[in-house]
Structure 1
Amino acid sequence: MGTWGRRASAAVGAIALLSGVVLPVRSALEKGWGDVDPGGLAVASVGLAIALVGLWTARRRYDSAEVAAGLARSVVRVEQEAFAQLLGGDVNGVIDLSFTADMTGRVRGATATGRLEDVVSFYRGLTPGRVVVTGTPAPPGAGVAGDAGAGKTLTALALVIGLARARADGEPVQVPVRLTATSWPGGTIEDWLARELEQAWKQKRAQARLLLEAQLVLPVIDGVDELDPGDAPGPGSRAAALMAEVNRYQLGTAPAPVVLTCRRLQYEALEHGQVPARTMALVRLDRVSPAQARAFLEHRVADTSVGRAAWQPVLDALDPLASASVTAVRPEATALRRALDTPWRLTLAATVYHPATGRQPADLLTRAGNGTLHQHLLTHYIDAAVTATPGPGAAAVPALDPAKTRQVLTVLARYLHANAAGRTEQGRALSSSDLVLHDLWPLVKARAIRLQDVLLTVLLNCGAWVAFGRALPEQPSKSWMSLTGALLLVIALSCVEAGAWPVPRPLRMPRLSTVFGLRSVAEELAGTVWGPTLLGAVGGAYFAARGQMRSGILAGAGYGGAVGLAYGLVFALIMCLSMNSHVPRTDPGSPLRGDLVGGLVAGALFGTTTGLVYRLVADPGAALATGLASGLALGLGGRAWTRYTIFRLHVRGRLPWRLASFLRRCQQAGLLRTAGPAWQFRHRELQEHLAVAPPP
């Protein structure tokens, strides 16, 4: 709730206090205390509480340093996990990549070269802190082109973790927030950051605005090359549009700090089209040296006597200076050194030729020599990752069927590949890299799925309407029906409004043992309770004035206010259970589970309250039916979980029913990675291979 909302709650509370205390006291002085309306006093006490809470929360101010430090701690926790995923769970196996930097525009830096372990100090020495991370294209004869798998995301993660740790320790640096380029909705960098802070990092809207106004957030945009199909994005591409926003992104009168990652070929195309990011330090990651490749494999797969014996021909070929073997001078050894000169390809080789697969590592030399190695590694990566024993630090992986895994991942890869052409649905560009469960429904029959979801919401609300009408006595039915109809209309319109892209609303009750948790609950109470209470009081007074209640106007206001208070407390509790808790989503499957639980709890609370209220004017059976119908309408109508369930019914046979569990196991096997609320393929090359290549 914003400042104006808190001030409004204080004002309305004061009005309720005035009407509920002053008027009854005046009546008591004139007619005697025996005629004091208890309903009015009840509303008065509620008004007093709302006024006090509203006045207190209206003075609430967030400290930007405190909010930034909390966000930084969350970033460290989440991105350290992502960093470990990229390394297959073995953080000791990281390759200390080297890089060179070219300064363009007005960027100044202390050094022009460095290594991965120095990337944080290198960045902090830049003025302004604007960086594009690219790779070095593969040399001729490597069997592949470009700089795919050079370690751009790994470098960005190392920078993010280092800067976030510095901010968490109190140093005056911006908090880095990693953004997936394909999730850019269009518009400004500030709006994109605000949405990401609220949805992925669970910041309250006021806190996100505070961080952005103080310019304490560093956007780290990963995968600019994935915005458009092909290798040459031109002036009319999404990448060019994003670069224009990056150039408009300012800190005062100077270009604002920003970090980008992009493949070298695509970024050169933007430069040739005169649409690159301006005033940047262009960081170019070097290829992995043979000595680094040998050290990686020695640690990863040749750390035992049996493993070393099997991998010895490969180790000799990779580093001829460390071995006098004749293998090192063969032509295929030279080809192997060119083919395994990125972290991603080394990971492919170590996985596909893991001892559990039964393949002989010496085959790498043969395939490197005839130019088939890279495609061979991509083709067999899935079955090898599923079969191989988890690496150090990795969780045990439940059984996955290699053929079924390939089939399901191929469906998802082809969907993402089709989105790369710029597909849109309900005004939103579909991501070409992110697998967000509640956003997968456009994969098949998008219009039919959305229509069925809307129809279900309408049916649920119509069922509640019928139950309301049947539960009411005949005399005051028109008045009660108009009131309940208005309430249902609000719910129905809300469901329809959110129906284009439902967002999960999981249960996340703030910790009441903390000052922040108590303040958050107080804000929700102050911002939610007064509305239904005031509406109920006005409605009760209106019905009493029309003679449809046996009590006076003031008593009618008191009784109506009591009913409104009950609903207000229920809505406030639902809001408290659904509020941000500053716990970022690290499991992409958790929001939907939380949305289901949240819907059931909200429906149960609302339905119980409705049933109890209607028991005052209806028989028990009718009140029970009314409570059930209203609870189902609120709990299931327009929910992200409902849309996702309809989607699963449409893809039975193509995708597993327990899709979240399947994707989680693929992540544990090293086939997928997480990026905020989404799963992504471990590497773009794997996704593109599955999208276009026939099965083995």
Structure 2
Amino acid sequence: MTSRRRRITALITAAFALAGAIVLAVMFAAAPVKDFAAVATLVGGVIGAFGLAAGVFSFLATYRRAPEDPAVLLARAVEREWRTESAVRGLERPEPLRVRWASTRRPVTAAPGDAAGDVTAIADAWRALPAPQLVVIGEPGAGKTSAAVLLVRRILATRTEGDPVPVLLNVTDWDPATKHLDAWLAERLHGLYRWLPREEAAGLVERERVIPVLDGLDEMTGPVRTAAAAALTEAVGSDRPFVVTCRSREYEELIGATGMPLARAAVVELTPVDPADVAAYLGAGRVGGDAHWAGVRERLAAEPAGPLATALRTPLMAFLAREEYGRSNADPGELLALGAAGDIEEALLAGYVPAVYRERGPVRPGAKRLPVYAAEDAERWLGFLARHAENGRVAWWRLPSTVEAARSFGGDVLTMIGFGRVAVAPKPWRWRPRFLFGALLRIATPAGLVVGVLGCFMFGRSWLAIPLGLVAAWTFVGSLYLSLSTGGFDEADGAVERHRRDRHAMIGIGAVLGFWTVVLFGNRGPETVVDWIVVPFIWAAPLLGPLVFTASGQLIVTAFVLSRSGLLPISLMRFLDDAHRRGVLRQVGAEYQFRHARLADHLGGTRDDDA
């Protein structure tokens, strides 16, 4: 549904709701109390029916639209997100750090090659292989993930109709003992790109229209890594394309333990960055850069195997050094005072968050003001997220179930209402008539009959209550379904947009529950002991329902609880989006991930007491 259609639907729904509220207010003031409930139910049913009809007409326009090839939509979504990530990582700069690769000399392949080249052309090397299967290895921080990003973007840039779509995934989620590679791929595609139905994701994998680019094989534990290598070799065979990244030592240990190479994959290794390339990169694109970095450049030239050159031989550390000491008021000479490579690396990791969370300048007139966070607060919040991230991933809709928020405040109560263990992932609600009609038949009809029969006894045994109860139940279920459907996702959605749509669904659920609570119980106060127990829960439903049974509602409660202890900001999504803009996090689908495993490990080790 286009934005214009959404606005029209919202205006129509709001108009009916306002009209209903005015009619009910006039009726309540003018009609006798005994007649109000029956008439209000009838009016509410008519208003709900009109609202349901408006939503149906709006959705039929979308439903009749010709479906696009899911592979085209997937390629568009993958290209969009990794174009953004390339800019965040600095891969689009005119003066990027030059990283090279070469066929590895380690005993990890049956047929060692002799190819070499620049990492920006690694996709061309992959295409030239007899079998399009490639393993990229390197030291921690060598740029393996960045190489995979460049490869994905290059494949997409030259992709023609019918070609498979490369998708970069973190392989640590895969349990090869319980799930086949294809089943896991389909599950992850559906999980990351929620607009892609599970059956269509499975179809893309089954027809080999997806190229799995699996990052982080080294992050698996030893036995799982061994099982994953065997399962991957069995699944891809001799010619199915794939790409895997892994740290050099872990991959050599893996192949040494099994004695079997990974399918027919060629293995290339990212080489340490040359000190001369590091020196050129540090001062490139800066006015007076050569003079600013003069001491560091001299040390790199004089001691190409010294502690400083050893520490800066990976793209990660070279990037951190440039980010932290590139400002004119920073002194790169502080790095020269550190005597060991490990000390230099730890200093760069420790200084990264304070460097990227320094004060921002004024925004241009009319632009949205960016949030400002103190570096110590940001480091504490990021550390908490790093410790509770699932394999380095921060999925906002699973956060209430992955952190023990209940320990901080009201734990027993919050756990009883279910927010801590009932993490409802936002679903790609679509217009499905069969689903709606089934819900009306199996849920609304029995509920309406029960309400109608009870109404017969509550309002003077009037059998008119039975059809009114049916109408009320049908319109309630229909309007609730439409309130969820208006939050449907599309291939352009990222984490923030997905949260916004789920929040709209949460508000829709609250509005529907509130409207029908007023219609059905607006004139009923507590009269008996049972009423005093039941009525408060009925009136609390419009508030507690969205907070308990939607992912956004659970996140609101979680962030509020943890913000009281300083463990998270109360506006968590705004902070995550800002961290992504600053380059601390990267975004894949609707999930956030830490820029690098070493950064996540460092932040996770910088901890305050979670209690």
- Check whether TM > 0.5: yes
The superposition leaves residues 21-71 of structure 1 with CA deviations (integer Å, 9 ceiling, x where unpaired) of xxxxxxxxxxxxxxxxxxxxx9xx99xx9xx99xx99x99997x8211111
Give the partner amino acid of 1:673. R
Per-residue deviation, 1:118: 1.8
**Structure 1 counterpart of 2:314:** 342
User: Secondary structure at the residue paired with 2:153?
Assistant: helix
CA contact 1:503–1:639 (8 Å) conserved in 2: yes
| TM-score w.r.t. length of structure 1 | 0.65
Q: How does 1:374-453 map to 2 (within 5 A)?
A: 374-387=345-358, 398-413=371-386, 415=387, 431-441=390-400, 442-444=402-404, 452-453=413-414
Equivalences for residues 185-334 of structure 1 within 5 A: 187-202=179-194, 203-228=196-221, 233=222, 236=223, 238-250=224-236, 254=238, 256-274=240-258, 277-300=262-285, 303-305=286-288, 307-318=289-300, 328=301, 330-331=302-303, 334=306
Change (3 A) 1:171 1:341: farther
User: Structure 1's 452 and 585: CA in aligned 2 closer, same or farther, altered over 3 A?
Assistant: farther
Aligned twin of 1:581: 490
- Aligned letter for 1:671? V
Distance 1:365 1:551, change over 3 A: closer
Closer, same or farther: CA 455–336 of 1 in aligned 2, 3 Å: closer
Distance, in Å, in 2 between the alignment partners of 1:452 and 1:276 is 54
Structure 1 residues 562 and 126: alpha-carbon distance in aligned structure 2, compared to 1, 3 A threshold:
farther
C-alpha deviation, 1:380, in angstroms? 2.4
Give, in angstroms, the shift of residue 222 of structure 1: 1.4
Which residue in the other structure is 2:597 paired with?
Answer: 684
Q: 2:172 aligns with which of 169, 172, 182?
A: 182
> Alpha-carbon deviation of 1:76?
0.6
- Is the contact between residue 384 and residue 568 of structure 2 (CA under 8 Å) also seen in structure 1? no
In the alignment, does 2:565 pair up with 1:656? no
The match for 1:667 is: 580
Task: Tell me how far 1:166 sits from its aligned partner.
Answer: 3.4
**Count of paired positions:** 530
Q: Secondary structure at the match of 1:91?
A: coil
Question: Is 1:85 matched up with 2:58?
Answer: no
- Matched residue type, 1:207: E
Separation (CA, whole Å) in 1 of partners of 2:568 and 2:451: 55
Counterpart contact for 1:540–1:556, Cα < 8 Å: no
Return the TM-score normalized by structure 2.
0.73
Is 1:158 the counterpart of 2:131 in the alignment? no
CA contact (8 A) 1:99 1:115 kept: yes
Whether 1:638 and 2:549 are equivalent positions in the alignment is yes
1:529 aligned counterpart, secondary structure = helix
Deviations 1:218-259 (A, max 9, x none): 22221122233xxxx3xx2x3233323323324xx6563222
Q: Deviations over 1:126-148 (max 9, x none)?
A: 3433222111xxxxxxxxxxx11
Counterpart in 2 of 1:603? 510
Instruction: State the secondary structure of the residue aligned to 2:158.
Output: helix
SS of the residue corresponding to residue 253 of structure 2 reads: helix
Pairwise CA distance, 1:195: 2.6
Q: What are the superposed Cα offsets for residues 501-547 of structure 1, whole Å, 9 maximum, x if unpaired?
A: 513438x88xxxxxxxxxx53x2x34213431465556778999999
Tell me by how many angstroms 1:446 deviates: 6.3
**TM-superposed deviation, 1:165:** 3.2
Cα RMSD for the two superposed structures:
4.4
Structure 1 gap segments, 5+ residues each: 1-41, 136-146, 319-327, 417-429, 458-494, 510-519
Alignment pair present for 1:455 and 2:384: no
AA aligned opposite 1:444: E
Alignment partner, residue 16 of structure 1 = none
Change (3 A) 1:632 1:408: closer
Contact 1:544 1:556 in 2 (8 A): yes
- The answer on 1:505 being equivalent to 2:426 is yes
Once the two structures are TM-superposed, the CA of residue 119 in structure 1 deviates from its matched residue by 1.9
Displacement of 1:602 after TM fit? 1.3
1:560–1:366 distance in 2 versus 1, CA, 3 Å: closer
> What is residue 475 of structure 2 aligned with on the other side?
566
- C-alpha distance in structure 2 between counterparts of 1:352 and 1:445, whole Å: 34
For residues 40-189 of structure 1, the aligned pairs below 5 Å read 66-87=69-90, 91-101=93-103, 112-135=115-138, 147-167=139-159, 170-184=160-174, 187-189=179-181
**Quick one: percent identity of the two aligned structures?**
25
Distance 1:132 1:581, change over 3 A: same
| CA distance, structure 1, for counterparts of residue 198 and residue 372 of structure 2 | 42
CA contact (8 A) 1:107 1:128 kept: no
